[in-house]
Chain A
Amino acid sequence: MSTKFGRLVSLVCKRGFSISTSVQKGASEQGVKSLNLCSAINQALQIALDSDPRSYVFGEDVSFGGVFRCTAGLADQFGKKRVFNTPLCEQGIVGFGIGLAAMGNRAIAEIQFADYIFPAFDQIVNEAAKFRYRSGNQFNCGGLTIRTPYGAVGHGGHYHSQSPEAFFCHVPGIKVVIPRSPRQAKGLLLSCIRDPNPIVFFEPKWLYRLAVEEVPEDDYMLPLSEAEVIREGSDITLVGWGAQLSIMKEACLDAEKEGISCELIDLKTLIPWDKETVEASVNKTGRLLVSHEAPITGGFGAEVSASIVERCFSRLEAPVARVCGLDTPFPLVFEPFYMPTKNKILDAIKSTVKY
């Protein structure tokens, strides 16, 4: 099992898709196609099922395509023994996935919305994350990948909008990965499925149909725990992940009009995260802003901020800025107030640079 994974992991390195922009040219054996994020996920799952007969996709309504259609067509192609519906029971779904993975399979579980992952929280935190450690490496559930859509969609209300990633970032033993775009989603999901550790993969549901980009059609993986500088700049470093990056990108453009040069980093993997890339950037710019949709208190932005203050204390020219969701339940009618919008980010950029 571990050798199989080992081989696949080394494959990632050989292909060397460390910077997504280079993927397009380098890996176009079968060409590229314009895809939205949902189809990119679908393609990744299709490749995962196709390339490993011991991989399974399951969850509520997935054999019908799932509520977001990410698994459409997979049951037809691979049969109902490998792509199947589960009853409505998140705790059972994840527990089952851990057992399936412990037998050397790739268990790809879908939790319909990240808001519904909490019934499975115990299985993830107490069973999945610690299986390898507490069995002295006799057992593990490294083949487990939990996919789940997260984040705001404009009007989702309390239970279709939350960003619970920080809860999972407090759990050594699992990895947390969030893609920002279709091409990233496909490559990162394939890496997650083949990585020898249990992973929670949060999909920005806001971008399922909205984000469209050229995606290589072949089987490629993007490395985990490697952040990416997606925009270079000199005055301030902005760190984010997932859907929030598109908002941050707009703020960078507006800041540029006012003469501020922003460097934007996509963290991609939240644990274990790539501190070096962020550190190097902050050493260059001297300023840091982190932004996420989840409530500010105890959000992963706090961890990024603390770590960078430790590493770059003498280089920092202003306090680290955090532009995040507010400390309230995710609201229904107040969503625009709650969200870390472009203008809130822009204001924080300006006040940090002027500090």
Chain B
Amino acid sequence: MALSRVSSSSPSILLKPLSSYLSLRRRSVSSSSTDPLTVETSLPFTAHRCDEPSRAVETSAAELLSFFRDMALMRRMEIAADSLYKAKLIRGFCHLYDGQEAVAVGMEAAITRKDCIITAYRDHCTFLSRGGTLLEVFAELMGRRDGCSKGKGGSMHFYRKEGGFYGGHGIVGAQVPLGCGLAFAQKYCKDENVTFSLYGDGAANQGQLFEALNISALWDLPSILVCENNHYGMGTAEWRAAKSPAYYKRGDYVPGLKVDGMDALAVKQACKFAKEFALKNGPIILEMDTYRYHGHSMSDPGSTYRTRDEISGVRQERDPIERVRKLLLSHEISTEKELKDTEKEVRKEVDEAIAKAKESQMPDPSDLFKNVYVKGLGVEARGADRKEVIATLP
């Protein structure tokens, strides 16, 4: 996208060494942004009972640019949600995904929308990667009609049926057996699709996880269990809660792969591998080694159970956006200025979406009774005090 604008002589380009300027020009003239490009993952994969995929990941300039843009957008969106929460425009519980963006974008790059994704409550960015819009995100966060769940779900309950996104679950671990059911249905249809069931390192200790693993393996389901290991379940470090924090091995008889979850390309490679593997052999666990920058939820400052150095260390050395930025610069696909411009653009997009979301109406009071059952049951509703309308519903 930004490639066509490279040749305009902006000051930042003039300050750069000539060679890079020339190579940029050359690239924009002679090569297409979709030409294949091979990039090595910075860390190896670690496999349990399966071969590991190649570290050489095939990508393209266009893909790297879209990774950058999408992750920058997610980051900005989450930071904006943080401010809206503090301004009390978002109520309820709110869990942010910044730091973990590479998992969402890398996974999406490897699969199709016919593949299913189901996750827990940290769901804003996965919703976006499945084709959701910023307006739907902010409207839902603020409990408005234009939200992806019509304002009735809030932060923890995002869904997008047409994007194969099954949400958005509040009870830790509960979504994973659901994923088995999705995978069974897919297998039955023989249309070669798979389900990715995401859960955290804390959730990995729930009994339901082991039930889901056994079911998936017993029935050879195209079920991929993705442990997003951000190393904390609320304030509990993984090693305090798990005898074996090697989550990719926790399936015992189920193969697993440990992946650098801060590297979108490694995530993409692993998900591609896992999809092929699961269609042939049944379930596999992917452990994504990742990190959440924010506290667990909005009431957690996130700094009492881990050091500030730990957080800033990850930001400096492993940040998923910075990694892609470096790739874009070193392969001379973009200039620093272009990437800054992209960041400015997404900022504007986010601001515009928020403004629009604020204009969206609250749901109608009668919606309170909708969707409890297929049909309403003739219940009578009344507002908090007698000044509000009494509505009798069908």
The residues of A with any CB-CB pair to B shorter than 8 Å are 60-61, 64, 67, 85-89, 91-92, 115-116, 118-119, 154-160, 326-329, 331-334, 336-339, 341, 343-344, 347
Q: Hey, which chain B residues are within 8 Å of A341, CB to CB?
A: 384-385
The docked-state distance in angstroms from the alpha carbon of A154 to that of B384 is 12
Q: Are A67 and B234 in contact (CB under 8 A)?
A: yes
Q: A87–B245 Cα gap in the complex (Å)?
A: 12
- Segment 168-211 of B: residues with Cβ below 8 Å from A: 170-173, 202-203, 205-208
Among A61, A115, A118, A329, which residue has its beta carbon within 8 angstroms of that of B235?
A61
Establish whether residues A328 and B385, one from each chain, have CB atoms under 8 Å apart when the complex forms.
no
Contact status of A333 and B156, CB under 8 A, knowing A67-B234, A157-B93, A328-B369: no
Candidates B206, B235, B304, B365; contact of A119 at CB < 8 Å: B206
Q: Which chain A residues border B152 with CB–CB below 8 Å?
A: 331-333
B36 at the A interface (CB under 8 A): no
Q: Is the CB of A334 within 8 A of B365?
A: yes
Given the known A-B contacts A326-B381, A328-B369, are A89 and B205 also in contact in the complex, defined by CB atoms under 8 Å? yes
Which residues B349-394 have CB closer than 8 A to chain A?
Answer: 362-363, 365, 367-369, 372, 377, 379, 381-386, 388
Q: Which residues of B contact A332 (CB under 8 A)?
A: 91-92, 143, 152-154
Instruction: Given A91-B207, A331-B368, verify A157-B381 contact (CB < 8 Å).
Output: no
> Which residues of chain B have C-beta atoms less than 8 A from A154's C-beta?
91
Docked pose: A45 CA to B367 CA in angstroms: 43
B22 proximal to A (CB < 8 A): no
User: Which chain A residues lie closer than 8 Å to B329 at the CB level?
Assistant: none
Decide: A92 and B207 in contact? CB cutoff 8 A.
Answer: yes
Taking CB atoms and an 8 Å cut-off, the chain B residues in 237-284 that contact chain A are 240-242
Instruction: Say yes or no: A85-B385 contact (C-beta < 8 A), given A159-B171, A328-B369, A332-B91.
Output: no
Number of residues of chain B lying within 8 A (CB) of chain A: 46
CA distance A225 to B388 in the complex (A): 39
- In contact, A337 and B153 (Cβ under 8 angstroms): no
A-B contact pairs, 7 of them (CB 8 A): A64-B236, A64-B304, A88-B203, A331-B152, A333-B91, A333-B154, A337-B388
Which residues of A lie under 8 Å from residue B242 when comparing CB positions? 87
Q: Which of A91, A155, A326, A329 contacts B91 (CB 8 A)?
A: A155
Task: Check B151 for interface membership: any CB of A closer than 8 A.
Answer: yes
What is the CB-to-nearest-CB distance from A92 to chain B, in angstroms, rounded to a whole number? Answer: 7
Are A327 and B365 in contact (CB-based, < 8 A)?
no
In angstroms, Cα B368 to Cα A158, docked, is: 12
Task: Choose from B157, B172, B362, B372 the contact partner of A328 (Cβ within 8 Å).
Answer: B372
Q: Contacts A60-B236, A67-B234 given: A89-B207 contact, CB under 8 Å?
A: yes
**Docked pose: A63 CA to B391 CA in angstroms:** 48
**What is the chain A residue whose CB lies nearest that of B377?**
A327
* Neighbour of A338 across the interface among B202, B240, B363, B368, CB < 8 A: B368
Closest to B200 in A: A88
Q: Which of these, A85, A88, A92, A337, contacts B172 with CB under 8 Å?
A: A88
> A61 CA to B91 CA in the complex, in Å?
24
Q: Tell yes or no: B233 within 8 A of A by CB.
A: yes
Bound-state Cα–Cα, A344 to B388, Å: 12
Tell yes or no: B219 within 8 A of A by CB. no
Expressed in whole angstroms, the minimum distance between the Cβ of A213 and any Cβ of chain B is 25
A119: chain B residues at CB < 8 Å are 171, 173, 206-208
> Would you call B368 and A61 a contact (CB within 8 A)?
no
Q: Closest Cβ of chain B: how far from A193's Cβ, in Å?
A: 25
Contact of A157 among B92, B206, B234 (CB under 8 A): B92
Name which of B235, B386, B388 has the most chain A CB atoms within 10 A of its CB: B235
Q: A158-B170, A341-B385, A347-B386 are in contact. List 14 more A-B contacts (CB 8 A).
A: A60-B234, A64-B235, A87-B205, A88-B203, A88-B236, A115-B170, A115-B171, A119-B207, A119-B208, A157-B92, A159-B93, A159-B156, A332-B152, A337-B365
Known: A159-B156, A326-B381, A333-B363. A116 touches B91 (CB 8 A): no
Q: Which residues on A sit within 8 Å (CB–CB) of B172? A: 88, 116
B236 surroundings in chain A (CB, below 8 A):
60-61, 64, 85, 87-88
For A60, what are the chain B residues with a Cβ–Cβ distance below 8 Å? 234, 236
Partner of B93, one of A91, A160, A334: A160
Report chain B residues within 8 Å CB of A329.
Answer: 372
Q: How far is the CB of A322 from chain B (nearest CB, A)?
A: 13
Q: In the A-B complex, list the 7 residue pairs whose CB atoms are closest, starting with the nearest.
A: A155-B91, A159-B170, A333-B143, A336-B384, A157-B92, A87-B205, A87-B241
Question: Are B379 and A333 within 8 A (Cβ)?
Answer: no
Q: How distant is the Cα of A332 from the Cα of B368 in the complex, in angstroms?
A: 9
